[in-house]
Chains A and B, each alone.
Chain A
């Protein structure tokens, strides 16, 4: 056979030797690829965290945006301030007052979703190798940002009342004794993504005390705080201390994520740096979105809308509880969140949520496997289920399909004598946090 020349020796990526060190290790994954199927309508996706915005007053929002363009279009579609428009920053202070935060609009920096606030805060504080403390489990999007800045995430245990203050203190002391630079605690105190757990009022004070004693900054990420389903919102940690906390907020869950408007409320000196970082990242956050949300807040009963969201999400959460009770095999437990979007499921001993995902996708149901929410590869015995987007009927159907998947997986594992021993990478946990003992 004739061999054509020249012979090509390729990695099919001409820039393979040029990437930054932090880019190494970024790879496609079979687990992530499965989510391409999860988005199909045939599949009941209990995976995504998309809010249900179909209940928004879309006609009214449409009218107000049309008026906005007609009357203030030249401002709304122009470049704006790097810190964000003053009027919306004032309105954000009113929103934060719902969680007993007293703040001045000068200390608010608008961001492209609170995800960008996370990015700006991380780039402002983190050098490669610095340590960030985070709940176990913690938000997958935050872990991705921390990884991108080459931080090392150390998880801190939590129980049904949230982060354990003693475990937090122990982690700080132990890491600093090793000469590690612990830069901040990242926490989602309300309806934690993914666990659904809320930090109790008492614990909020205790966590703050630990942080103050050890001079540790707290990043309080609070996208779900107003979406309480059973009681009034708890006061934010930031409401107790303005200097120890950077508070991140968002309109993505209480209004709509497509506008990409979030914010950071930071001590004055930090705020200066965040604004400079914002200017270098985007010049200014989306001006049109700020005007649109500002108009919505001004012209619509947004508090009433949040109440309507609460009632809609409560029905969905209750459907999730009902479906889980009805369909999950013995040995399965789950958290009972009083708000937010997510339920955290602990699987019967021996099951591995990541290994089970292909079987679930074949059965047309999807979830997010637990390891996504750990920086250290743990969490195989857990899964996150969301109840925010599917209708109650679809949630019930999804849990029915999931129940069958769990039963099948248990049967196969039992057949091979694997039913009683857990996967080696899973911590054997009673609660949603890691056993650090």
Chain B
């Protein structure tokens, strides 16, 4: 295991491949600047064999969406006894599925939106009109419809009336067989990253997100210039402390390791509502985790190097 190489995994076959490649490039570059010997790799046949040939180096998965984030690739790394940075396969599986992750957060006492998870075949079997009517009755408008297992706001819609529901559901099902409907939470949108370099999870300064269009969708996320990021967020120390507390609580409740990012909305009463947690936070030029790292006075490459050391010391899982 005494191997100083770090393999940054990026790409994959998910809908977020492009974002993953950008995250991977940035992470690899930051690690190289910190003096690390980095190998960049896509996910393809023969990956495990190559990693074993390399002497089972520490892997830094920068895969977003699909098998990269739902625990599948991490499960393979665990099987092959290859150490990696980040949460275990089991924890990733739970966190990546928004319906399960939100339930865990709610059971841990965190504020969450009201949420319903609906597979597409349920509508087929029970009849869409009855279910849509029940959904409209149970959750208030506006509501958010999104795929349960996707990221980067892909397949996301805000729905203001019952007439818009079918189209939004169809859009979400384009990304997977289960869709989530949840109440819309108005307020200040913030992202809080959590890191754990060996002495327990700690929250980094919150990043406030103000997209010009009002909606933090794919375009607003990845087109530089279309969103204002304010870090630390323009919120009181008291509210900032609540946000940090929520992010750390989500990280712990879901059994996450090393790093995570929790997206939340601060309601009018100053209390944050958990939206979702990411086990592979974006590291692109427009992602929020690197902004938090900078605001905390840390260097991204040095921080990643520490996380690599933690993973190396932890060894295979």
Contact = CB atoms under 8 A, between A and B. Distances in A.
Interface in B291-308: 291, 294-297
A355 B171 contact: yes
Contacts of A30: 15, 152, 154, 218-219
Contacts of A411: 124
Nearest to B285: A12
Interface string B233-248: 0100100110010000
B21 to A, nearest CB: 7
A416 B218 contact: no
A11 B228 contact: yes
Contacts of B229: 8-12
Interface in A1-15: 1, 3-4, 7-13
A8 B295 CA distance: 8
B218 A13 contact: no
Contacts of A1: 203, 237, 240-241, 244
Nearest to A359: B174
A20 to B, nearest CB: 13
Size class of B's contact patch? Answer: 35 or more
Contact of B222 (A4, A28, A36, A416): A28
Contacts of B240: 1, 3
A4 B230 contact: no
B128 interface: yes
Contact of A7 (B18, B218, B231): B231
29 contacts: A3-B205, A3-B232, A3-B237, A3-B240, A4-B295, A4-B297, A7-B230, A7-B232, A7-B234, A8-B230, A10-B228, A10-B291, A13-B224, A28-B222, A29-B218, A33-B17, A33-B218, A36-B17, A36-B18, A36-B21, A355-B171, A357-B174, A358-B155, A359-B173, A409-B174, A412-B120, A415-B124, A417-B128, A418-B167
Nearest to B239: A1
A40 B10 CA distance: 13
Contact of B223 (A27, A409, A412): A27
A410 to B, nearest CB: 11
Contact of A11 (B123, B152, B205, B226): B226
A356 B229 CA distance: 32
B115 interface: no
A25 to B, nearest CB: 10
Interface of B: 13-19, 21, 120, 123-124, 128-129, 132, 152, 154-155, 166-167, 169-171, 173-176, 203, 205, 218-219, 222-232, 234, 237, 240-241, 244, 285-286, 291, 294-297
Given A3-B240, A7-B231, A37-B17, A27 B128 contact: no
A394 interface: no
Contacts of B219: 27-30
The 4 residue pairs across chains A and B that have the minimum distance between CB atoms: A416-B166, A13-B224, A13-B225, A36-B18
A307 B297 CA distance: 66
A433 to B, nearest CB: 27
A1 B223 CA distance: 31
Contacts of A33: 15-19, 218, 222
Interface residues of A, number: 38
A148 B13 CA distance: 32
A34 interface: yes
A36 B19 CA distance: 10
B208 to A, nearest CB: 9
Contacts of A416: 123, 128, 132, 166-167, 169-170
A30 B205 CA distance: 29
Contact of B13 (A9, A13, A40, A413): A40
Nearest to B238: A1
Interface in A398-418: 409, 411-413, 415-418
Contacts of A37: 13-15, 17-18
Nearest to B245: A1
A12 B167 contact: no
B25 to A, nearest CB: 13
Nearest to B173: A412
B218 A355 contact: no
A9 B129 CA distance: 46
A422 to B, nearest CB: 12
A158 interface: no
Contacts of A413: 170
Contact of A4 (B17, B120, B228, B296): B296
Most chain A CB within a 10 A radius of its CB, from B129, B171, B224 = B224
A123 B219 CA distance: 29
A21 interface: no
Nearest to B217: A30
B205 A12 contact: no
A8 B294 contact: yes
A12 B230 contact: no
Contacts of B15: 30, 33-34, 37, 358, 361-362
Nearest to B66: A362
Given A12-B225, A16-B225, A416-B123, 10 more contacts: A3-B205, A11-B228, A12-B224, A29-B218, A30-B152, A36-B17, A356-B174, A358-B174, A412-B120, A415-B120
A355 B222 contact: no
Interface string A355-395: 11111011010000000000000000000000000000000
Interface in A162-191: none
